[in-house]
Amino acid sequence: IQELVDCSTIVNYGCNGGFVDRAYDFVIQNGGLNTENGYPYKAVQGFCDYGNLLFRAASISNFHYVSPNSERELKKAVARQPVSIYVEAGPYWQFYSKGVFKGPCGTALNHAIAIVGYGEDDTGTKYWIGKNSWSSWWGDDGYIFLERNIEAKEGRCGLAMEPMYPVV
């Protein structure tokens, strides 16, 4: 991820954020990404190390958007692979620690995570399993469990509004 932070600055903003589809475009245009060992994460934006761009450990050929505002279509996609989503990560989100997150939150999308699975708790509440990028100290060891199948078509915190996934 440090490679994206340092080198994908024309269309993204380093440590100040960016867009998943633009990151996917960068990976496609540059023939892939280096390994974590080859381009280690530093948690600060630096200058692009072009020497480290010569080795490519993983690449993608394309990416696809999931039908927006459909948790049903999102579930189909997540059954095949992790899916990148945007959410509104407000104050309640930022202080999440455990359990199924039911908000409050809106749909002013300002943060990206990966949905890596789904499930149902002992009370019958359905949830999405989200992997955040804020380290394992945040949430439930770096994960959040977001309420699934809510009435709003956008999903909890807007998670169903702009889902997408890479094609290897």
Q: Which residue has the higher pLDDT, 132 or 13?
A: 132
Residue 100 amino acid letter: V
Q: What does the pLDDT look like over 72-86, one tens digit per residue? A: 999 999 999 999 999
pTM of the predicted protein model: 0.91
pLDDT computed for residue 53 by the predictor = 79
* pLDDT (tens digit per residue) in 133-152: 888 999 999 999 999 999 99
Question: How much is the mean pLDDT over the chain?
Answer: 94
User: What domains can be seen in the chain, in order of their start residue?
Assistant: 2-60 (no CATH), 63-167 (3.90.70.10)
| More reliable by pLDDT, 36 or 156 | 156
pLDDT-derived band of residue 156, with 50, 70 and 90 as boundaries?
very high
Region 112-124 average pLDDT: 98
Torsion over CA: 37, 43, 48, 49 (sign): negative
Which residues lie below 8 Å from residue 11, measured CB to CB, with a gap of 6+? 18, 19, 22, 25, 26
Q: Which residue has the higher pLDDT, 60 or 53?
A: 60
